Structure formats: structure tokens, C-alpha cells
Amino acid sequence: MTEPAPAFDPVIHAPGRLQICAILSSVDSAEFAMLREAVKVSDSVMSKHLKQLEEAGHVALTKATEGGRQRTWIALTPTGRKAFAAHVAELQRLAAMTAPDLPGAGGRDDKAGNSP
């Protein structure tokens, strides 16, 4: 499989949604309460994050009754997995642009002629 082209996704980029996508990228699905506890947010904040991700087509929610209780399971959609991978690739690309200046590496000091 080819690497996705780097692409910034403002829906994914919010810290809570980025954490949610990172967790979901390593599993098939996760239960609402587990995600809420991992991200350390309230039920209402988690619901808002999931609604935005769902509206963007990044996650799918499935409700099931287990032990007499309604549970919500969340999974990244194929589109969401691609978008998350592309977003991570873009963050890595941006981070690489901030590499420390090294003599001879074309950093700011080299351009200014101020290399040690």
C-alpha cells in the first residue's frame, strides 16, 4: 500500500479529535467510555468530538446492548484511516522543516553566513 500524500485535516487536528483518531488507528473499534477516559474529557465533550468526526465521514458509531446496557462502539472508517494517515504525514513533513540548524545543512545560520 502506498503512503498517503500529506494533507492537513482541520477536523482531525483539534487535540481531542487527534487523540481519538490516534487511538482508533490502532484498533478495529473502541467503546465510548474507554475513549472518553483515555482522552480525559466529559461525556458531552466526547460526544461533540465524535459528532464532528462522524459528520466528516471519519468515524462510524455502532450501538449495541451488552449486559442490559446500551454501549456505543466507534471505529475509523476507511476514509477516516486515510485522512488520519495523511494528516500524520503532513505533521511529520512540517516537523521535518523545523529540524535543528546544522552547519552545512542549509539552516538559517548557513544562509546568513554565520556558521560556527
Answer whether 24's CB lies under 8 Å from 59's CB: yes
Residue 63 sits in a domain whose CATH number is 1.10.10.10
Taking the C-alpha atoms of 7, 11, 12 and 14 in order, what is their torsion angle to the nearest 10 degrees?
A: 120
Q: Give the domain extent around 66.
A: 10-96
Q: Give the chain's domain count.
A: 1
Residues 6 or more apart whose CB falls under 8 angstroms from that of 5 comprise: 86, 89
Asked whether residue 114 is assigned to any structural domain, the reply reads no
Q: Quick one: DSSP state of residue 100? A: P
Taking each helix axis as running N to C, give the angle between helix 32-39 and helix 43-55, from 0 to 180 degrees, rounded to the nearest 10.
110
Residue pLDDT tens, the chain, 116 long: 567 788 999 999 999 999 999 999 999 999 999 999 999 999 999 999 999 999 999 999 999 898 889 999 999 999 999 999 999 999 999 988 886 665 555 555 444 444 44
pTM to 2 decimal places: 0.80
